[in-house]
Amino acid sequence: MTILYILIPVAIVLVIIAICVFNWAVNSGQYDDLDSPAHSILFDEEDPAHLAARKSDDARSDAATPQDDQPDERT
């Protein structure tokens, strides 16, 4: 019976951690597009439609992670 006083809080903490990890994965875009990476190996590299899709994917990923060209002036 006393083991339940340990196991129940441990189980609750593990569930909270799992929910936080799942929320992080959803919010960071891990589940946005599950089909394109699997199908991209089937396309020919010189195919114009495939090249256009890769460029749009690159542009979308660049827009999602902006990078500063200017160095930080707080030195």
Q: What is the pLDDT of residues 5-63, one digit of tens each?
A: 999 999 999 999 999 999 999 999 888 877 777 776 776 666 777 677 777 777 776 66
Question: What pLDDT was estimated at residue 16?
Answer: 99
Q: How many CA atoms lie within 13 A of 35 on its CB side?
A: 1
**27, part of any domain:** no
- Indicate the number of domains in the chain: 1
**73, part of any domain:** no
- DSSP 8-state secondary structure symbol assigned to residue 68: -
**Calpha distance 32→5 (Å, rounded):** 40
SS3 of the chain: helix, strand, coil, percent, to 5: 60, 0, 40
- Which pTM was predicted? 0.48
Residue 52 structural domain: 35-60
Question: What pLDDT was estimated at residue 71?
Answer: 58
